[in-house]
Amino acid sequence: MTVALQPGEAIQGAPEEETSRGASWPRYLALKGGGAAVSLVMVVVVGFFAFRVLPGDPAISMTRGRQVSADQVEILRKQFGLDQPLIVQFWNYLVGLLHGDLGTSYTYNRPVVDLIGTYIGPTLLLTGTAALVSIVLGLSLGQRAAWRRGTAFDRTQTSVALIFWSVPTFWLGLLLLLVFGGWLHWFPTGGMSTPGLGATGLAYVWDVVRHLVLPVTAMVAVVYAQYLLVMRASLLEEMSADYLTTARAKGLREDDVRRKHAVPNALLPTITLIFLTIGGLIGGAVTVETVFSWPGLGYLTFQALTSPDLPLLQGTFVVFSSIVIITNLAADLVYRVIDPRLKAS
């Protein structure tokens, strides 16, 4: 509950602050952009040092259980650059980063940038689809629930959403897999496409869509509640507003009072929530990707933790964090564009 309401609450104060300040566009941009840049720098620094605290020597972990001499472990350590002082490693990391080089993965022995490039596509496809479906579903159910507050529809929708929300994604995913994959055989049990099918064009798209259904369902079921609840809450706040009485007095149909007058105003906090959660959704794909063997970035991160594959961990951390920071910045900007009160000031 708190998670869903926090962003909404945070926004409540925001418009007033900005209005009173009456910041001009360039100043606003500089302010928000600067904040984002500072966050990015922090991420870069934290990303390096945080993972050094992890237990496990990567060179020893990677050779564990194999026939290797101490000399070979040393060679490996040298290849990884682990024999250098931490500050030198940090400097190399910074210099690399400025050149768009996130280092070379220990495990996969290839540039982290390449690896992320390979795996980010499926993650964006999965989380993008899930985000879209849950936003549409959450918002439409949320406004209907608010409009008919206290009715059976409201109570059912809210409780169903909350029940799904409290279900662990992992468990729900496995359940879907068991029922629709293993038992009914309606959908594939894993992966993004059928290996060896050799499908191209539309047939390939069809194959991918079939593979998308279960993971998207699992993700949507767990996250759509927050959109529903915030939409419902912010619409409820609007519902006693005078302009709705005016609208009704004009003789407008109830449905249109809701759609054309109340919802646009109530949508503001929700839009910020959408941007805020998109970053989290991508990070949260780890579980779903693991259950449904989705070849995405989340699972790559999980793998990297086991070594620990430091360059890969740093790389995925920087990417995930950047997505969150950028979507937050986008939320700030979009908010200002769509809120006419801010524009006027």
Q: Which residues, numbered 245-284, are part of the site for other proteins (CB under 8 A)?
A: 251-256, 259-260, 263
Q: Which of 53, 85, 183, 249 binds other proteins (CB under 8 A)?
A: 183
Residue 295 in the binding site for other proteins (CB under 8 A): yes
Contact predicate 225/138, CB 8 Å: yes
Does position 80 interact with other proteins (CB under 8 A)? The reply is no
Among 26, 100, 150, 198, binds other proteins (CB under 8 A): 198
Is the Cβ–Cβ distance between 100 and 113 less than 8 Å? yes
Q: How many CA atoms lie within 13 A of 326 on its CB side?
A: 7
Which residue lies nearer to other proteins by CB, 30 or 209? 209
- Would you say 192 or 323 has its CB closer to other proteins? 192
Give the residue, chosen from 75, 167, 241, 333, that forms a contact with other proteins under the rule CB under 8 A.
75
CB atoms inside a 10 Å sphere around CB 250: 10
Q: Least distance from C-beta 201 to other proteins, angstroms?
A: 14
Would the CA dihedral through 332, 334, 335, 339 be positive or negative? positive
First to last CA, the chain: 33
192 part of the interface to other proteins, by CB under 8 A: yes
Nearer to other proteins, 230 or 325 (CB): 230
Q: Total binding residues for other proteins by CB under 8 A? A: 85
SS3 of residue 104 by DSSP: strand
Contact between 65 and other proteins by CB under 8 A: the answer reads yes
Pick 16 or 74: Cβ nearer other proteins: 74
Amino acid at 214: L
Backbone phi and psi for residue 200, each to the nearest 5 degrees, phi listed first: -130, 170
Provide the minimum distance between the beta carbon of 290 and other proteins in the complex, in angstroms, as a whole number.
Answer: 5
What is the amino acid identity at position 197? L
Tell me how far apart the alpha carbons of residues 285 and 224 are, in angstroms, rounded to a whole number: 15
Nearer to other proteins, 118 or 322 (CB): 118
Kindly report the CA angle at 79 between 77 and 82, in degrees rounded to 5? 40
CA 132, CA 82: separation in Å to the nearest integer?
43
Q: x/- string (CB under 8 A) for other proteins, residues 35-64?
A: -------------------xxxx--xxxxx
Question: Does residue 156 bind other proteins (CB under 8 A)?
Answer: no
Q: Does 299 bind other proteins (CB under 8 A)?
A: yes
Nearest to 14 by CA among 307, 339, 280: 339
DSSP 131-178: HHHHHHHHHHHHHHHHHTTTSHHHHHHHHHHHHHHHS-HHHHHHHHII
Q: Which residues inside 306-325 make contact with other proteins, applying CB under 8 A?
A: 306, 308
Can residue 84 be called a binding residue for other proteins (CB under 8 A)? Answer: no
Decide: is 66 part of the binding site for other proteins (CB under 8 A).
yes
- Cβ proximity to other proteins: between 55 and 150 the closer is 55
> Is 329 near other proteins (CB under 8 A)?
no
Q: Could you say whether residue 136 binds other proteins (CB under 8 A)?
A: yes
Q: How far is the CB of 26 from other proteins (least distance, A)?
A: 34
